[in-house]
Structure 1
Amino acid sequence: MERESRFSQWLRRRARTGGGTAGAGGEAAREDLLRAAAGAGFPLAPAAYPEGYGCSCVRIGCPTPGRHPVSFAWQTQATTDPDQITRWAQGQPQANFITATGRAHDVLDVPAEAGRMALERLDTEGTETGPVALSGGDRMLFFTATRGTPEDEDEWWPCELDCHPETMDEHPGLRWHCRGSYVLVPPARLPGEGPDAVVRWVRPPVPGATLPEPLTLLEPLTDACAVYAGATTDQETAAPWPVR
């Protein structure tokens, strides 16, 4: 008899376990983490999740499996209401969740190795970092106060303007998520298996705590990104956008 391939065994195992859905204890922990994020002021909305070797959404060949919101109305849907978040979490036990940035907080998104270098420097200098998450094994997310809601609405800028610096030498590897953007919040699952297939807190949010100003973290993060970009020969890895 022909032996079943490891890939086929993996797919069959995921189908039998519901794609890695946690038990009752895991579900309770998941809801606690989501409510804690909402309690810290992060507006949440349901997101897709990895399913088999693809995405739970209906899009064929989804380019970002498990990493995007479910609804096109995610910006208006995102909420900090704990009751609504509990209903979503219980009604969609496998769903990831995103937080809409630029409303109550921004996120500075850097390569994980650069993030670790910056954390070491910030701790040495005694600078408060606020919440920090590790997204898979390759990106680190620093949650900060927002600059997306100025008193003068003409002064706000969309995330697109900060996603693509004019040159790689300016802010290599850094993406600033503000108004119009989102990031996954823990606990979230990414395609694959193991520790690099999750989004988890390195430093969890504390409800009621003041988030740091993004400009206080920007210099250490950009310096670390420059060191990281200089040490790697793979600019595609160093940058979160396509390098041309």
Structure 2
Amino acid sequence: MEETIRGTEAAPLTGQIPTQRGDSLLETAVRYAEERHWDVLPGTWLETVDGVQRCSCGDPACAAPGAHPARTDWTAQATGSATVARGLWQKRPTASILLPTGRTFDAMCVAETAGFLALARMERMGLTPGPVTRTPERRMQFFVLPGACAKLPGLVRERGWSPSSLDLVALGEGAYVAAPPTRYGTRGAVQWARRPTPANRWLPDAGELISALAYACGRDR
């Protein structure tokens, strides 16, 4: 389900990737690869053991049950081919959908409260953010052009903040985000706070969003 900001709701757009309701993991993963040209990766999945849902990794204390890579060589397994993605999820229909960062996009991660504040501020500033996810861990991830990891410390300092003083993290090469409708155990599913649409196909650079994100993180401390 797409979230709205302070009572506003964007008009429906055609050609957008649907929300998680009614779509299988397989079809959603294929559409991410086909429509957005994102690399996709099947991760772990949830299994019911003695009436309790647990991660397929077998660790009862798993920090992200059903929402992390299933293999150590996961970076090589990720694919941008819709055909290959379909084959991977046909073998494991319940596998989570993971999107490697540092390829077609990086992700700038903030606390949920700061994320909604930043979105409202971007709206007032006339900025168009890229897709934004909202996780069951109450984090929000803003998709931006690759390179955000290298730029972030300097961008934060330019605005008078110490990077260590803000809860603002960039994910790039070697990292990943879980995509809707992936579930984190019993905590709930990843959702779109701003879902992929034709209007945000072209991702912003980290520098375009940093003022709103840094301001929101500073207010949220």
**1:192 Cα shift?**
1.3
Q: Where do residues 190-229 of structure 1 align in structure 2 (5 Å cutoff)?
A: 190-192=184-186, 197-206=188-197, 209-229=201-221
**1:54 Cα shift?**
2.7
Letter in 2 for 1:61: A
Letter in 2 for 1:41: H
Tell me if the contact between 1:108 and 1:174 (Cα under 8 Å) persists in the aligned partners: yes
SS at match of 2:80: coil
In structure 1, the residue matched to 2:41 is 45
Out of 174, 180, 183, the position equivalent to 2:168 is: 174
Compute the RMSD of aligned alpha carbons. Answer: 2.9
Q: How many residues matched?
A: 190
SS at match of 1:216: helix
After TM superposition, the score normalised by the length of structure 1 is 0.69
Letter in 2 for 1:44: V
After TM superposition, the score normalised by the length of structure 2 is 0.75
Unaligned runs of 5+ in 1: 1-24, 149-155, 230-244
SS at match of 1:63: coil
- CA deviations over 1:50-96 (Å, ceiling 9, x no partner): 33343111345333322311111111111111111112222212111
Tell me if the contact between 1:143 and 1:211 (Cα under 8 Å) persists in the aligned partners: yes
In structure 2, the residue matched to 1:130 is 130
SS at match of 1:188: coil
Letter in 1 for 2:73: A
SS at match of 2:191: strand
SS at match of 1:130: coil
Q: Where do residues 1-244 of structure 1 align in structure 2 (5 Å cutoff)?
A: 26=22, 28-38=23-33, 39-51=35-47, 52-59=52-59, 61-136=61-136, 138-147=138-147, 170-192=164-186, 197-206=188-197, 209-229=201-221
Aligned mates of 1:68, 1:168 — CA distance in 2: 30
SS at match of 1:142: strand
Tell me if the contact between 1:133 and 1:202 (Cα under 8 Å) persists in the aligned partners: yes
Unaligned runs of 5+ in 2: 1-20
**1:171 Cα shift?**
4.5
What is the identity percentage for the equivalent residue pairs of Structure 1 and Structure 2? Answer: 29
Letter in 2 for 1:117: L
Moved more, 203-212 or 75-84: 203-212
SS at match of 1:136: coil
Tell me if the contact between 2:132 and 2:193 (Cα under 8 Å) persists in the aligned partners: yes
Tell me if the contact between 1:107 and 1:141 (Cα under 8 Å) persists in the aligned partners: yes
- CA deviations over 1:160-193 (Å, ceiling 9, x no partner): x99xx9x987452211001111110111001215
Tell me if the contact between 2:25 and 2:95 (Cα under 8 Å) persists in the aligned partners: no
Tell me if the contact between 2:102 and 2:146 (Cα under 8 Å) persists in the aligned partners: yes
Letter in 2 for 1:182: Y
Tell me if the contact between 1:171 and 1:222 (Cα under 8 Å) persists in the aligned partners: no
